[in-house]
Amino acid sequence: MNRYRRSARVLFGTLAVYALLVASNRGEFWPFSIYPMFSQGGLAWTRAVVREVPDERFRWQPTTMDQLPGTSYALADRGVDHIDLGSFVAQTQVWDAPRIEALRRMVGDAELQRRNLLVLRVSGWITERDSVVVSFSPVALITRDTSRVNDSAPRL
Amino acid sequence: MKLLRNLFDFEREDSPGEVIFFKLFELFVVASAVVLAWEWGLYTLRLSGIVSPQGIARYMEIEFMFDSMFPVLTAALITACAGATYFRFNRYGHLAAFFLLHLQFAARHSLGKIPHGANMVGMTLLGLALAMIIFRDDRLRRRFTLGYTYFFVGLGYVLAGCSKLVGTGLDWVDGRHLWLWVYEKSVDNLAKLGTFELNPLQEIVLGSYATATLFLTIGLLTELCAVLVWWKRTRSAALLALIAMHAGIYFVMNIAFTLSVYQLLLLAFPWAVWLDALAKRFEWMGAVEQLSVRFA
């Protein structure tokens, strides 16, 4: 078979499989993708950040970046993927025992032996006055012995 | 047919520099795949199950990848398979590595957020795997792999541009959207590093709606023009524009598509010509060429 014809068959065969898989899997079937990241402009987003707190004396209320409780905590230094954590927090509707256990496992038992960690859900959106608002809501406090959650934290 | 000739260019003979370049290019792809396999495998050990099934996990149970050493075993197998084909001990190792890497991805990224930094490497690994199977001649394998890669690099970026037009429409370039993303990525940095500070470029973008809109317009046009990667005459310019776009994304949004940028750098510049020039100046390059031919 002609080398071009053979190459074309394989190339367009891959393209057909690509189209079939992304069409039937919401645009993603690694490494095939329609690359939908950032395709929806102006969409509100949700992330998560972790703060180290000395104790439980903080307000379980939404706050701003300037008034975050506790001290900074870098997930990268502990080998935790911040995108995974953000996705996990955003997708958690109810903080039941398995979800809390999964959160503790994600952060790592060794860390919880030494620190009290406060997980905050972060939401960002554009207001009608064309400014961006970023709000931090405490959702879970995990320590060596206890886990406290705030299921009433506002969500987008 | 004209497109196929632009992509594959089977008629042209390879220079020694092209043989060496391709072996280095293959090394980049294989090494990247192996590093990803271990990164994903070791991270999967920390996960307890699937939240949002990806890829093959939507069709079969992959719970065996959790609470077990299977991710490590898979990474070891990927290393062995890709290594064996890199040194041409067999023809099917790259294909096996590709499928196993997909499994590894499905387990690792089962938490819902899907990254795209490894897609280009994955597509190129698939191109290498298919080239090994459909051609016996080393030169044809090289030509096919590169043509296949050019095609899917161009297609990927065009699809990204089309997704934006379908998802939002022409309004996508509205500068306020960029403001929201700059803050989103700043919060990502706060989570990742514990701190963040806006850089001067971010401050300019946040301070000027027109500048933010211009940035998004240039980005969208660059993605849509990536189809020019398919044609020899416009390829280098299109690839350089994509590299510049990634530099802009890095400085404005703190997102580094490291592997993709490295690969674009390999594809954009005339490395083979430079290697030929080196070969003329230095005798030891002859040994490098012989080694490349031995495992071509």
Give which of B160, B180, B164 is closest to B172, Cα–Cα.
B164
Domain residue limits at A95: 45-149
**ipTM field:** 0.92
The SS3 call for residue A148 is strand
pLDDT, tens digit only, all 156 positions of chain A: 589 999 999 999 999 999 999 999 999 999 999 999 999 999 999 999 999 998 878 888 899 988 999 999 999 998 888 988 998 898 888 888 888 988 898 888 888 888 999 999 999 999 887 789 999 999 999 998 888 988 676 665
Report the distance separating Cα A40 and Cα A4, nearest Å. Answer: 39
Sheet holding A117-126, edge to edge: A71-72, A45-52, A117-126, A132-142, A147-149
CB < 8 Å to A91, chain B: 51-52, 112
Q: Which residues of chain B have pLDDT under 50?
A: none
Question: Is A39 part of any domain?
Answer: no
pTM of the shown model: 0.88
Question: Do A99 and A144 reside in the same domain of the chain?
Answer: yes
Query: Which two structure tokens, joined as six digits, stand for B113?
Result: 């957020």
Report the distance separating Cα A136 and Cα B163, nearest Å. Answer: 30
Question: Do B290 and B223 reside in the same domain of the chain?
Answer: no
Question: Do B68 and B129 reside in the same domain of the chain?
Answer: yes
Average predicted confidence (pLDDT) for chain B? 94
Q: Which of A38, A73, A88 sits opposite B51 (nearest CB)?
A: A88
- CB-based contact A121:A89 (threshold 8 Å): yes
Question: Do A29 and A105 reside in the same domain of the chain?
Answer: no
User: Could you give the percent of chain B with pLDDT greater than 70?
Assistant: 100
Question: Is A136 part of any domain?
Answer: yes
Question: What is the tally of structural domains in chain B?
Answer: 2
Question: Is A155 part of any domain?
Answer: no
Question: Do B88 and B224 reside in the same domain of the chain?
Answer: no
- Residues A117-135: pLDDT tens digits? 999 999 999 988 778 999 9
Q: Is A58 on the interface with B (CB under 8 A)?
A: no
Query: In chain A, which among 71-130 make CB contacts under 8 A with chain B?
Result: 72-77, 81-88, 90-91, 101-102, 105-106, 108, 122, 124-126, 130
Question: What is the tally of structural domains in chain A?
Answer: 2
Question: Is B219 part of any domain?
Answer: yes
Question: Do A52 and A127 reside in the same domain of the chain?
Answer: yes
Question: Do B58 and B143 reside in the same domain of the chain?
Answer: yes
